[in-house]
């Protein structure tokens, strides 16, 4: 039997009906957050409660969802949701199940829903499937707007870059009588233009923007996996990687691509400012409530006058003369690390530069994140 979904406050629960009291609290919290709450008796798959917001969002009542769970009714519209809820009833108690499904409202328009469910054991020994339905329309609209904005930026930047690229190619082709310094200047402009176009292709291409949101993006990366990314980068550059690492069984919570980029910048720096063929040392160890990664090269180190500015936006040190770069790498890396609650610092300036990257860690199984005990960097330099 399906309970009424009218927006009527439930009757106060008696002291003996603890589970009903918890149900009321669960529904109230979910609905205050804007989610749609539901509860299904098991193993009968009888819909026990459904928030009134379900009908407001999709135009279907609880009976229609009950039919979809049973495998009948408006299958084309609610079929995916019904199948997911029926399958979720077979999960282990306490296991969280998250999936995005596409449904159609009563007018035939597509609506994306995030479905979060878990099986609960009730006080009387029975079981229930409880869950939340979240409307993804606003999130998807924001992603679409971000893609449109990125596409616009791509176009606006690519047009003048194409003009510069064409002009510099013409200058190079007609510079037979120019001196070596001028030809080198032309080559630097051409290389810089190529790099900017490559960055547009990597970060602001329509294909890349279209891929965002199609697959649930991971929000964790194993500390060991991040270290191995650095080792792989060195080997692909033909350098030896000297690895000093603890047994790493922790993970890092955050945007994996961003964390990879931060480490990549550190390794790129070591490759650029150390003798060709020299090894680069990579390290990873537990430090407080997190993991500390180190990248140490065998170059000339960082001049003292440059150390305090090395993370500043656009800053290039005295030993960067004649080398490629824009002075944005370390600034970008520290910005990424700051967002993740970590700390990036220059630890050694002589006998080779050493950078240390500290990030808060979490249990690899995804349990509670360990809190950061380190402050954000705010462009400070610690030795």
Range of weakest confidence among 141-155, 230-244, 272-286, 291-305:
141-155
Pick 248 or 101 by higher pLDDT: 101
Question: Using alpha carbons only, what angle is made at residue 207 by residues 201 and 213, rounded to the nearest 5 degrees?
Answer: 120
Total-model pTM: 0.44
Which of 59, 81, 86, 84 lies closest to 70, judged by CA? 86
Structure tokens at 358: 């500290």
pLDDT bin (cut points 50, 70, 90) of residue 344 is: very high
CB 301 within 8 A of CB 351: yes
Pick 342 or 31 by higher pLDDT: 342
Helix axes 180-203, 137-173, angle to 10 degrees: 160
Highest mean pLDDT among 56-70, 183-197, 202-216: 56-70
Distance (Å, rounded) from C-alpha 28 to C-alpha 206? 41
Pick 211 or 117 by higher pLDDT: 117
The DSSP code for 120 is E
Structure tokens at 237: 């550059």
Pick 202 or 306 by higher pLDDT: 306
What pLDDT does residue 209 have?
Answer: 56
CB 11 within 8 A of CB 88: no
What pLDDT does residue 207 have?
Answer: 62
What is the Rg, in whole angstroms, of the alpha carbon atoms belonging to the chain? 28
What pLDDT does residue 292 have?
Answer: 94
What pLDDT does residue 280 have?
Answer: 94
- pLDDT at residue 361 tops 90: no
**Dihedral (Cα; 302, 304, 307, 312), 10-degree rounding:** -110
What pLDDT does residue 157 have?
Answer: 79
Q: What is the H or E stretch that residue 87 is in?
A: helix 75-88
β partners of residue 357: 293, 344
Which of 23, 40, 30 lies closest to 88, judged by CA? 40
- Which distant-in-sequence residues (6+ apart) come within 8 Å of 141 by Cβ? none
How does the average pLDDT of the chain come out, rounded? 78
- What is the arithmetic mean of pLDDT over 319-335? 76
What pLDDT does residue 155 have?
Answer: 73
- What is the arithmetic mean of pLDDT over 294-313? 87
CB 202 within 8 A of CB 269: no
Which of 311, 334, 306 lies closest to 321, judged by CA? 306
- pLDDT at residue 378 tops 50: no
pLDDT digits (tens, 9 = 90+) for 99-132: 888 989 988 888 999 998 888 888 888 888 888 8
Distance (Å, rounded) from C-alpha 263 to C-alpha 351? 21
Peptide bond preceding 43: is omega within 30 degrees of 0, i.e. cis? yes
- Which distant-in-sequence residues (6+ apart) come within 8 Å of 158 by Cβ? 197, 200
- Give strand ranges (E) for the chain: 36-42, 46-50, 97-104, 110-121, 127-135, 220-222, 241-245, 250-253, 280-287, 290-296, 343-348, 354-363
**Dihedral (Cα; 302, 259, 221, 153), 10-degree rounding:** -160
Pick 24 or 118 by higher pLDDT: 118
β partners of residue 117: 97, 131
Distance (Å, rounded) from C-alpha 128 to C-alpha 119? 6
What pLDDT does residue 147 have?
Answer: 73
What pLDDT does residue 278 have?
Answer: 92
Question: With helix as H, strand as E and coil as C, how does 278-297 read?
Answer: CCEEEEEEEECCEEEEEEEC
Query: How many Å separate Cα 378 from the centre of its chain?
Result: 22
Percent of the chain with pLDDT over 70: 78
The two beta strands, 110-121 and 290-296, are: unpaired
Percent of the chain with pLDDT over 90: 16
- Give strand ranges (E) for 109-262: 110-121, 127-135, 220-222, 241-245, 250-253
- Could you identify the residue written with the tokens 């650095």? 230
Distance (Å, rounded) from C-alpha 47 to C-alpha 29? 19
Indicate the SS3 state at residue 242: strand
């Amino acid at each position: 039997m399906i309970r009424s979904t009218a927006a009527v406050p439930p009757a106060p629960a008696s002291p003996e009906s603890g589970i009903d009291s918890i149900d009321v609290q669960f529904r109230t919290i979910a609905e205050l957050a804007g989610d749609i709450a539901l509860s299904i008796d098991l193993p009968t798959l009888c819909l026990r409660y459904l928030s009134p917001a379900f009908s407001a969002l999709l135009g279907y009542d609880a009976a229609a969802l009950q039919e979809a769970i049973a495998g009948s009714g408006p299958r084309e519209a609610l079929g995916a949701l019904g199948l997911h809820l029926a399958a979720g009833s077979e999960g282990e108690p306490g296991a969280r199940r998250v999936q995005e499904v596409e449904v159609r409202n009563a007018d035939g328009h597509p609506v994306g829903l995030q479905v979060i469910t878990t099986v609960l054991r009730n006080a009387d020994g029975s079981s229930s499937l409880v869950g939340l339905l979240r409307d993804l329309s606003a999130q998807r609209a924001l992603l679409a707007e971000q893609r449109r904005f990125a596409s616009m930026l791509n176009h606006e930047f690519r047009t003048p870059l194409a003009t510069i690229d064409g002009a510099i190619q013409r200058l190079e082709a007609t510079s037979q009588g120019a001196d070596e310094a001028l030809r080198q200047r032309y080559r630097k402009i051409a290389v810089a233009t190529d790099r900017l176009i490559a960055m547009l292709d990597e970060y602001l291409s329509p294909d890349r923007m279209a891929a965002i949101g199609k697959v649930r993006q991971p929000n964790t990366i194993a500390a060991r996996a991040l270290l191995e990314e650095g080792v792989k980068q060195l080997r692909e550059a033909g350098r030896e990687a000297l690895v000093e690492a603890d047994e790493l069984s922790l993970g890092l919570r955050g945007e994996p691509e961003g964390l990879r980029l931060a480490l990549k910048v550190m390794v790129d720096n070591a490759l650029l400012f150390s003798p060709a063929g020299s090894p680069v040392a990579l390290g990873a160890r537990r430090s407080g409530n997190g993991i500390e990664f180190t990248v140490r090269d065998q170059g000339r180190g960082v001049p003292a006058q440059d150390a305090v500015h090395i993370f500043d936006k656009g800053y290039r040190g005295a030993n960067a003369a004649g080398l490629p770069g824009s002075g944005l790498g370390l600034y970008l890396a520290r910005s990424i690390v700051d967002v993740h609650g970590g700390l990036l610092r220059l630890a050694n300036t002589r006998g080779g530069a050493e950078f240390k990257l500290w990030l808060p860690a979490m249990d690899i199984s995804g349990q509670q994140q360990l809190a950061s005990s380190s402050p954000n960097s705010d462009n400070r330099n610690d030795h």
